[in-house]
Structures are given as structure tokens and as C-alpha cells.
Structure 1
Amino acid sequence: MQLPGDFSSMTVIVVSHGEIIGRTFPNWLNLAFKHYDEQSLTYHPYDLNMPSSLPQRPLAHYEVDSPITTHGKICAALVARGIYMARLKPDMVILFFGYLMLYVISSPEMRCVETAWSIWRALQMGDRGICLDEALSEWGEWRGENEEKIWIKPQTVLSELKIPVNNDYKPMAVGKIDRKETPLNYTTRLQSFFEYILLNLPTKKCILLVANASALSVLSDRIYTHPMHVQTESENGEMRLCDIRAIHINSSRQVSRFEMLNI
């Protein structure tokens, strides 16, 4: 990739989404939603790890795109603390006092949007809001038919989730992502997205991305052979939730990796 001549530097942090209700409580839709009459369907959490309230969305949306747990939100806040404590480079200190803009760009799935917003709030980054980009979305083969129709959209994120969105950000054009997308095409899409932000966002900035776990490997290793390897449980039962990877590209186009604090 040929960076523009006026490129100075950029830090890119990728965080995987937090713990998902649907995985932690597989039967949560049947247990947490109660009918009081024919017209109403009310959410009642039955575990402290479930959020106290949920946005008004059809149950069919939650079935394929569930929110994160209370634990997931806490871990996202701890990620923000880890980013602050890591002091990725000197001007990161300036950044946290408001002199540099921190872009937070999220994949459009609800699990990623809520994780991104929890990080944004913990960093106290003001009211400009998060950015959404479908180029960061999940591997096409893992999605249900027309699942992209229920993704969180920039025009509805404020009304639906009460989360401010940064409308100044222009997403990468990807068109309709085929459900038959190959692992190589998925990896290429993520690589193209990383190139897009390097070429189109102002330099001397810190860009924070919240996505599915595969994006971490693509950032660190440039390629990953199969998304399944980083999404499913490993042999020791661990999931890569709220995991972090970070790189810095200096004015000489040299790339260095940062060791981050894992949650």
C-alpha cells in the first residue's frame, strides 16, 4: 500500500466485542420476555449479568444480533482503562485531554456497537459519538438470510440505542456482502478497510476499531486463514472477548506493535 506523501503517523487499536447475552444465556429470549397481555411484551432480566433494560427491538432481531452482558460492558470499560494506562505513545496523553480526535469505528452488529459505546463513555470522549462501518462486519457465511437488514444503521443508532453517532465519518463502500463470502475474501475485505482508514482519515490520530475477533488477527498478522479459528472456543475454553491489538505507523512508514493489557 502506498501511503500519501503527507502521511505523518497513525495509531490503530482493534478491540473485539464483549460477552454476548445469547451465548451466556442461550434461552434468554424465552425466559426474559414476558407477555402481560396480547399487546405487550416486557423484558425482565433474571440474572445480574443481564442489562437492566434493553432498546425496543423485535425479538427476531435479538435472536440473531443480541446485546452484550453487564460483564461485557464492564470489560469494555476496563479496555478503555487499559488503553489509557498503556500510554501507546506520547501524544496519547494529549489525546485524552481533548487535543486530538479519537475515532471510534464499530462494526454494525449490536454487540460491537454497545462495546464501542462502553469504551467511548469510559474514555469520556465527548458527544461526537461513534462511527459505523459495514466493512468491519462479520464473515458473510456466518450470517443469516438478509441479516444485514437488522444491523444498527447510522441513521437509527441514536433513536434505537440512544447512542450518538459521528456523521462526519464516511464509511468504506462495500456493497452487499455475499453470504458465500470465502475466508480469503473476508480477510481481504478487512485488509482493504485498514488501508481505507490509513488513506482517508487524518494522520497523527488514534483510531479505535471495535469488531469481531478475526479483525485482531488481520491487523496483527495481515492475514488469517479461516475466521472460525479465532471465533470459536479454543482448546482451553477461552473466547477472545474484549481482546486488544494495536499498531503504530510512524512518519517513516515503519509499523510497530504495542503490547496491550488483556482483560
Structure 2
Amino acid sequence: MDRTPPPRRRQSSTIRREDIKSSKDILQQMGFSKSRAEKALAATGDRDLQLASDWLLSHVNDPELDVSAPRQYILYLCPVGPLQEQLMTFWERSQKLCGWNGAHTYFPHITLCPFFTVEDSKCGMVKKALNMISEYLDECPGPLKLDFFNQNNFIGCFLKDNCYKYFTELVSKFGAECKKYGINVEPVKKQLHITLAYQYSSEYHEELMQQARGIDLNAACQWEVRLYSRDPRVGKSEVRRVKKTYHATLEDELDLIIGDYVFMDPNEPTRSTDQWYFGTSWLTGRQSMFPGPYTERTSETWTWALHASELLVQKETPSPVCNGDSHAHMPLPKPPKASGETYEAVWKADPTYAKVNKEVKKSPVPRKEVRPQDLGIPRSLVVMRHGERMDFLFGRSWVDLCFDDDGNYRPSDLNMPKSMPKRAGTHYEYAKDAPLTTLGSFQAHLTGEALKSKGITFDHVYVSPSLRCVQTATSVLKSMGQATVPLHVEPGIFEWLGWYQLGLPKFFTPTELKSHGFNVDLSYKPFVPITKFDMEENIEGYYRRSGETSRNIVIRHQQEGGNILILGHAGSLEVCTRQLLRKTPRPDRDFRDLCAKVPYCGLLSITECLRTQKWSMGDAPILSLTHGQNKQMVMTKLFYPSEL
């Protein structure tokens, strides 16, 4: 009897390979109507099929699910990096100083065009239009420079006029692409600027100005052109962030969960006598009553959908077209009719724009600096997981096993370190902040040797505050012969806070780490201090925190260049590179599955293109490290248990 089938020569004439189906087609196959499928994709930025499916399932009780209401789209120019951090810090301080003002409705940005409406069926076409002009984004005559400006009831930063023509043409090209699909985009009609504060009481003006002057407008910054959309109801509503969970007890009440936002009529507080307001849940679309004190007002942009993001590549030398062409400068707006006239709401969707009288200042052409990138040396970013950890191998009870009541440490296995650094708190803190095993340190040593053999060096090293990460980085650098490279302890790299519902570890401080012999840079100021941790962080928040941290790190060293090492956790390989690679966050389940597969000292390398300043996946710099696992066992108990 033949064990294998005979060779096949005839091809089927009836079976055909099915074409790859779109996300909309798949959603319709799942049973959703065409209009609902299109609405879900538009509401989630057309980024992920699972995300759109989850959105539909959560909006089953949305009374407006089948209402045809085109979303409002807008094109923003957004700063990323240290400058963005300073702008956000000012945003927070100004809110504490004088309460809510008009600038708090949005995050720091430059508006490139007014809002324009797009039918849900054309959602993908807008993204395609932006992608079609991606090459033009490599031609910015930059670098972009900002000037402070203030007048009655307004404080902002205006983009210097040398690039106005460039952005006018950019929006014009984008509008021309959109017009092919029947989408109308209005051109730039106002001076390009970032609003820091407006619509505030005049008594706060001087103090706000003083704080604004503290922003270093020359701080390192990259710029991204981003395409956002919003639910048309948002523009007419006050958006409130849920800060405390509430479980509805009556049918006419909303369930409030952390991570949700509520759209509310701005007049609700004046109509209510008991601080219960009528609102619409962003996550579910359900409309009902909710307790106001369980929420707080926040920026509406947190509820917007990001459809596309493209890096703006700024040339070192300003373009002669932008500097020399007199028509490249935007005509100055007419001066106010009266001295008491205030700055108008420049972010409205109508064609009414700012009426400010801004003086044009001529600035000298900046001297070009020679950077490592100019010498043809591209940068690499390596993100690595720490080595084997004590608690994952021996269980959390290892602390009780190895420490006596006085906190004295004694190892009970050869794979346990011979000694343990003294903590300021009790030794029980090790249960949450476990060190490396002996093998974990050896894994790091082998990894460092492999990197050295490939001629790889690191100029800048950032580590999570976890002890195991600091230990791993130290061992890697020592075996590379780079023990003198300082470690920058960056809490923004720490793993997902959703895994720490019982509280954060009490980390070693940088000073304590230094006293234990770790080469920590004590002058370093982290991008995300532990005091800014959101202990109710969802997975999207983790992606955002880690992505912004890695973006800030690479921008910080853009001028000097050099390779960067980020030493973090299993999830760090994903969340610290995903945003740099211009990819959207993965769903929660996919993220967890990936983390479970990352080996100790596993690493990922991405490389920056010198011309475009965009990051792409690089080749694996070294071979992988594979090893078996021994079980803890006393040999006499195994072979001769009866003789004991």
C-alpha cells in the first residue's frame, strides 16, 4: 500500500484564490451592516479590524449607531520631544493657576486647515490622500522656529514666516488629493501658531506670560503631520474624563469606568441641582445620567481618532524660496478695531480666524552644525529585556526563604546571587522589585560579549527603575568594555502599570543605586517621573507613555547622534519601538501573547534613515540565546530518599 499520494499534475479549473478582503468586507461577513462597518472603521481611525469590531460590540446600545453623521477631520502639526513636554507642563500649570481656559480644550499643536467633513464610506480615502503627499513632507525648508506673542487675553507661539509658503502648498496638495474623492478641504487662512492660553481672566495675564517665557522654544523637537477625526457631537460638548468607577444602580444611570470619557452639554452644571448630569459615554455611546464629581473636565482631543501620522523632515538650511519670495509671507491681519477686542476662538470649524497684529521679525540665517548624521553615521536603537529574575524562577516566596526576620540574606540555591544590596525599606520590597538570578547576570554577560564581537557600541543608555533592569544594563556594558557609559534611570520605560494594582514597588533611588556601585547619572531628569504615573493606566496609555518616552529619548540625542540602548521589560520591545515605526498599538490580547514569548535578554534593533529621519526595523544584531532549565532538586532525596 502506497504511503504517499501520487504526484499531482492537473490544476483545478474551479477553485480560485479569493481576493484579500478589506476590513469592511470582513465586518459585513461577521453580520454587521455596511453603514455600521463604515462607522466603526471611521471611529477607530481605520487602524485595526479587531478594534473596529470591539467598537461595534460596545456600541450596541448607542441610540445614534445608525444615524448618518459624517465625522469632522482636521490636519495638525504636532511637536514631539522635549519641547512638547515643556508645552504640556505649561498647560498643567496654567490650569492650576487660573482654571480652565480655551487652550486646554486641545493638546499643543499647529492647525494646518479648518475642520472638514468626510462621509464614513470615504474614511480610507483621506488617509490615502495624506499618504500620497508623504514625499513632500521630506522637503520642509525648516528647521521650524517659533516666536512668543501675546496680546489682550491671548498668549501663543507663532511659527516664523519662512515656512508659511511650504505649509500652504502642503495643504493645497493634500486638498487636491482629497478633491479626487469628492472631499473639500479649505486652504490655510491664518498665521500658523501654537496657542498657549486664551479666554482667561486678565488678572492672570502677567503671571501666565512669566510662566510661558520659561518655555525654551529652542528645545529639541520633531514635528509630525497628523490626521485626526472627531465625532460631530464633540465640538458642541464639554468632555469629561472618568476619574472614579461608578456602577449604575438605576436604569437611567451610566456605568462609569476608568478610561472612558463623557460628552456633556456645557450648560448641564447650571441646570443641575444635585451634580447629576446627562451625558453620552464615549466608549459605548449610551446616553444617561452620571455623577459629576466622579469625572473631571479634560481635553476633547483625547476622544479623537488618529487616522495617520507622518514625520516632517526638516532641512538644515532654509529654502531660498521661503526666504526670498516676498509672496511666501502671509499677509498680516488687520489690527483690532478697538483696544479691548479679544482673541477669537481660533479652533472653531467656521472660517472665522484670529485677528491679531503680529510684528514680523527678521532673524539671521542659523549657522549649520556638523552632526554625526552628517558624516553618514546612522543611529540604531536597541531595546532589550532584562535577564532571568528571582521571583519568576523561585516564586514570590523566595523572600521569606532567603531573608531572616532581621533582614539578613542567605541564598538557598546556586542560582541565587551571593549577596543582596541593602534597601532603605524592608527586605519585603524585593517581592515587588526582584533582582536577577546568577544565571540572569550571566545571560546579560553573554549578550554583552556578543554585541562587542559584532562591533556594536552604545553612546546613551536608559534603564527602567527596576533593579533587574539596572543590573542587566550594568552587566551588558561591563562585558562590552563600556562600563563608563552612565545609566539614565527613566521611569517612563517601566512596564505596564495595569500589572501593579496592589501598588508600585519601592524602587531604589538613583542615589541609592550609585552608592551600591551602579554607574547612574544623578543629574538626569526623567521624561516621566514616577509622580506622574497613572495607576489606572490602560494598555493604550502604556503604549502612549512608552512611545512618547522613546521618542523623547531619540530626539534628545538627535544632534549628537550615537546608538541608544533602552533596557526594560518584555513589553518594552513592543511599546518602545511601535510608535517610532509609525505603527498603531496592538489589541490587549495580542500584546499579552507577545510578552509571554520574549526571552530573557531578548532584544530588538531599529535604525534611523539619515535622509528622512524615519525609523525602520533592522537586522538582528546578534544570535539568540537559548538554554534549558534545571529544576531545583536535592540529589540525595532523588536517589536515596529512604536513607535520609
TM-score with structure 2 length normalisation? Answer: 0.35
CA 1:25–1:173: 2 relative to 1, 3 Å: closer
- Preserved CA contact (<8 Å) 2:463 2:567: yes
Matched residue of 1:34: which SS?
coil
Match of 1:204 in 2: 561
- Match 2:386 to one of 17, 21, 28: 17
- Match 1:46 to one of 412, 425, 436: 412
- Preserved CA contact (<8 Å) 2:477 2:485: no
- Preserved CA contact (<8 Å) 1:3 1:198: no
What is the CA distance between 1:229 and its match in structure 2? Answer: 2.5
- 1:112-144, CA deviations, whole angstroms, 9 ceiling, x for partnerless residues? 111111112112214353110011011111124
Number of equivalent positions: 241
- 1:25-83, CA deviations, whole angstroms, 9 ceiling, x for partnerless residues? 11311221235xxxx33211111111000001222210111101011111111111222
Matched residue of 1:184: which SS?
helix
Question: What aligned pairs does 1:1-263 form with structure 2 within 5 A after superposition?
Answer: 1-2=311-312, 5=315, 8=373, 9-26=378-395, 27-35=397-405, 40-57=406-423, 58-87=426-455, 92=456, 95=457, 102-147=459-504, 150-159=506-515, 161-173=516-528, 175-201=531-557, 202-222=559-579, 223-226=585-588, 227-232=591-596, 234=597, 239-252=598-611, 253-256=613-616, 257-260=618-621, 261-263=623-625
Q: What amino acid does structure 2 have at the position aligned with 1:20?
A: R
- Preserved CA contact (<8 Å) 1:76 1:118: yes
Question: Structure 1, unaligned stretches of length 5 or more?
Answer: 96-100
Distance 2:421 2:465 in 1: 16
What is the CA distance between 1:216 and its match in structure 2? Answer: 0.7
CA 1:224–1:69: 2 relative to 1, 3 Å: farther
- Preserved CA contact (<8 Å) 1:33 1:43: yes
What is the CA distance between 1:255 and its match in structure 2? Answer: 3.1
Moved more, 200-209 or 5-14: 5-14
What is the CA distance between 1:173 and its match in structure 2? Answer: 3.4
Matched residue of 2:415: which SS?
coil
Question: Structure 2, unaligned stretches of length 5 or more?
Answer: 1-310, 317-370, 580-584, 626-644
Q: What amino acid does structure 2 have at the position aligned with 1:166?
A: D
Moved more, 120-129 or 16-25: 120-129
Distance 2:482 2:574 in 1: 27
Match of 2:307 in 1: none
Q: What amino acid does structure 1 have at the position aligned with 2:605?
A: A
Q: What amino acid does structure 1 have at the position aligned with 2:467?
A: M
Q: CA RMSD in A?
A: 2.3
- Preserved CA contact (<8 Å) 1:230 1:240: no
Distance 1:103 1:190 in 2: 17
What is the CA distance between 1:86 and its match in structure 2? Answer: 3.5
Distance 1:4 1:112 in 2: 35
Structure with greater Cα Rg: 2
What is the CA distance between 1:19 and its match in structure 2? Answer: 0.7
What is the CA distance between 1:162 and its match in structure 2? Answer: 2.2
